[in-house]
């Protein structure tokens, strides 16, 4: 082999076997679990710097790696850093002057947006634009809107999990036990914002006893316009066929009845009647009678009683859904229940006529709701 050939082999070996030139030791990383974003200002006024850009207060929380080690004691389970800047990553870069840690966003679980940020369309668009372009952050990061300041949520230490982001991630994964909120990720929200400039994002509420996730923030034209409560969020999930398990409580005279849903399906039919769009939505559910009353005067094996209990559940769910639809159509005037999506997919002839004026048409759509309930099992009795 020539001398030139040997030199090429040596240079290739150096390039291949030199190791990770930019590696960062695990102890030197700050694995950001959750990010809180608030807007800087007083009395509702949004503060800007000399360039005219709004300034944000960004709060990061990450676990203390040392506290995870066996035998460690007296260590804080987490660290919280906060600073002011023009966006998330501008603040993270600025914080490198105050910390010996390199921030890592590959394990981020949650982004919490403060209420003031969400109520300003320019700020909310700026945040989502930055998140969409960020290669450091995954698309499965959960997004929440705080009722109040996001940093207050961040500073609360959940009783069952010391790190806020990990707690919210686990809570979202367990959501099949309840329909009081609908977990949303970056990947879920961005398409909706691009399509209709609207979305439902889970509401997070800081309390004296901890963190509560319930209901939803209603986003229209890239800003928060109002809230849906827990029951209203459940109604939206019924309409969009996303309920997997839920307990419904009704009263039969003086007897409390608990009905647990085990399966649901939704059918929709849209049509034009006298120049008005009419949408029929039928919710079918099956479930289990979880609680009635021991030694009650009525026997749950009686078919007439079962039919009466089914009717009580149907009336309750229908009333809740009707009320939610009225609020969404008349108060918010924003289609977050998928009527436009249904027309686009299944009734293109109708959609072509109304798509240009949908914001004005949607509040006038007549929506008929029917609920069919079946009690398939009554549990173990005598």
pLDDT of residue 44: 45
- Rounded to two decimals, what is the model's pTM? 0.85
Whether 317 has a pLDDT exceeding 50, the answer reads yes
Which pairs from 96-102 meet CB under 8 Å and 24+ separation? 99/30, 100/28, 101/28, 101/29, 101/30, 101/62, 102/24, 102/28, 102/29, 102/30
Residue 175 pLDDT > 70, yes or no? no
Average pLDDT rounded to a whole number, residues 41-58: 64
pLDDT band at 344 (very low <50, low <70, confident <90, very high): very high
Spatial distance between the Cα atoms of 211 and 170, rounded to a whole number of angstroms: 13
Round to whole Å and give the CA distance between 209 and 34. Answer: 20
248-260 tens-digit pLDDT: 999 988 888 889 9
The 10s digit of each residue's pLDDT in 193-241 is 999 999 999 999 988 878 889 999 999 999 999 999 999 999 999 999 9
Q: How confident is the model at residue 90 (pLDDT cuts 50, 70, 90)?
A: confident
Residue 76 pLDDT > 80: no
Q: Round to whole Å and give the CA distance between 91 and 87.
A: 6
More confident residue, 318 or 161: 318
Q: pLDDT tens digits for 131-158?
A: 999 888 989 999 999 999 999 999 887 7
User: Of all residues in the chain, what percent carry a pLDDT higher than 70?
Assistant: 80
Using only C-alpha atoms, the chain has a radius of gyration, in whole angstroms, of 26
Residue 320, pLDDT > 50, answer: yes
pLDDT of amino acid 239 = 96
Average of per-residue pLDDT values in the chain = 85
| Structural domains of the chain, with CATH | 17-228 (no CATH), 235-377 (3.30.300.210)
pLDDT at 130: 94
Please give the pLDDT value at position 64: 80
């Amino acid at each position: 082999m020539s001398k030139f050939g040997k030199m090429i082999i040596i240079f290739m070996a150096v390039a291949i076997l030199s190791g990770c030139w930019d590696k960062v030791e695990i102890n030197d990383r700050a694995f950001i679990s959750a990010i809180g974003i608030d807007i800087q200002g007083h009395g509702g006024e949004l503060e800007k710097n000399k360039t005219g850009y709004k300034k944000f207060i960004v709060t990061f929380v990450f676990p203390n790696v040392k506290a995870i080690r066996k035998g460690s004691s007296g260590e804080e389970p987490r660290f919280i850093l906060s600073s002011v800047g023009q966006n998330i990553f501008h603040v993270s870069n600025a914080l490198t002057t105050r910390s010996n840690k390199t921030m890592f966003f590959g394990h981020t679980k949650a982004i919490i947006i403060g209420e003031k940020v969400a109520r300003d369309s320019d700020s909310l668009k700026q945040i989502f634009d930055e998140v969409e372009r960020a290669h450091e952050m995954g698309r499965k990061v959960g997004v929440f809107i705080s009722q109040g300041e996001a940093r207050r949520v961040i500073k609360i230490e959940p009783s069952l999990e010391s790190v806020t982001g990990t707690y919210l991630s686990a809570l979202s994964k367990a959501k099949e036990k309840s329909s009081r909120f609908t977990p949303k990720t970056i990947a879920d929200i961005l398409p909706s914002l691009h399509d209709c400039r609207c979305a439902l994002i889970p509401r997070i509420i800081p309390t004296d006893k901890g963190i509560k996730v319930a209901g939803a923030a209603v986003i229209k034209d890239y800003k928060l316009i109002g809230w849906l409560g827990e029951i209203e969020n459940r109604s939206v999930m019924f309409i969009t066929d996303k309920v997997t398990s839920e307990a419904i409580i009704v009263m039969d005279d003086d007897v409390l009845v608990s009905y647990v849903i085990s399966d649901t399906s939704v059918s929709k039919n849209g049509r034009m009647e006298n120049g008005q769009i009419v949408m029929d939505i039928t919710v079918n559910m099956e479930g289990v009678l979880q609680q009635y009353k021991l030694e009650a005067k009525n026997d749950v094996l009686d078919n007439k009683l079962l039919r009466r209990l089914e009717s009580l559940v149907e009336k309750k769910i229908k009333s809740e859904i009707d009320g939610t639809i009225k609020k969404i159509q008349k108060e918010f005037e924003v289609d977050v229940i998928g009527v436009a999506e249904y027309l686009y997919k299944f009734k293109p002839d109708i959609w072509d006529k109304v798509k240009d004026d949908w914001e004005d048409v949607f509040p006038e759509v007549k929506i008929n709701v029917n609920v069919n309930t079946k009690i398939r099992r009554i549990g173990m009795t005598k």
